[in-house]
């Protein structure tokens, strides 16, 4: 019974690293008091060590393997998957020939955003949602993706939250988090 309860609590708990932002909502503007309260929670969180990802092999056996692989394709072959070179015109979200991995470089594993000091994605799922004093609001990983879509990707269009492309990018970020 004890083991069963432990298993259930593991299945239902979110990552030990992600912070619970309740009662605040993603995107919500916070006042000073709420902001310092949320920042304190963030400060109390355990720090992430850097760990080199050397292989993408483990993705194959993951239950979301297909989605994660598509996320990698979107990030690494952005121009031809969701950009001007996409065969499917309805998928032409980004406006230039860059790939996300042009800036978020690939490390030894050849996975996008795994190079130390080159804008890695390895902690995105741990670091967001996050409070940003710039707009006094809670910002999500999806909003950061769309920040790059509209600013770095040649005046690109935002990826809708319910699009398979956004879901696949976030699934890949989640997979990267599980490496720790």
> Where does this chain bind ligand HEC (CB under 6 A)?
75, 78, 98, 100, 102-104, 119, 124, 127, 141, 144-145, 148-149, 152-153, 169
Locus of tokens 């993706």: 145
Residue among 65 and 148 whose Cβ is closer to ligand HEC: 148
Residue among 7 and 103 whose Cβ is closer to ligand HEC: 103
Rounded (5°) CA angle 39-41-45: 115
Find the shortest distance in angstroms from Cβ 32 to ligand HEC: 22
Are 111 and 52 in contact, with CB atoms under 8 Å apart?
no
Compute the residue count for the chain: 180
Q: Where are the alpha helices (DSSP H) in the chain?
A: 2-12, 32-44, 65-76, 78-82, 100-103, 124-127, 141-151, 164-177
Residue among 24 and 127 whose Cβ is closer to ligand HEC: 127
Residue among 7 and 50 whose Cβ is closer to ligand HEC: 50
Locus of tokens 């990826």: 159
Find the shortest distance in angstroms from Cβ 104 to ligand HEC: 6
């Amino acid at each position: 019974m004890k083991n069963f309860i432990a298993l259930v609590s593991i299945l239902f708990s979110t990552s030990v690293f992600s912070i619970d932002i309740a009662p605040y909502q993603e995107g919500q503007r916070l006042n000073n008091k709420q902001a310092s309260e949320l920042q304190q929670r963030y400060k109390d969180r355990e720090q992430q060590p850097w760990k080199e990802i050397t292989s993408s092999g483990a993705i194959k056996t993951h239950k979301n393997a297909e989605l994660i692989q598509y996320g990698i394709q979107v990030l690494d072959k952005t121009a031809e998957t969701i950009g001007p070179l996409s065969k499917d015109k309805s998928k032409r979200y980004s406006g230039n020939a860059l790939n996300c991995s042009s800036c978020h470089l690939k490390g030894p594993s050849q996975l996008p955003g795994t190079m130390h000091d080159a804008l890695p994605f390895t902690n995105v799922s741990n670091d967001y949602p996050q409070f940003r004093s710039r707009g006094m609001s809670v910002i999500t990983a999806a909003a950061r993706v769309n920040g790059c879509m509209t600013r770095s990707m040649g005046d690109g269009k935002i990826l809708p939250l319910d699009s398979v492309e956004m879901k696949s990018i976030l699934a890949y970020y989640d997979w990267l988090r599980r490496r720790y």
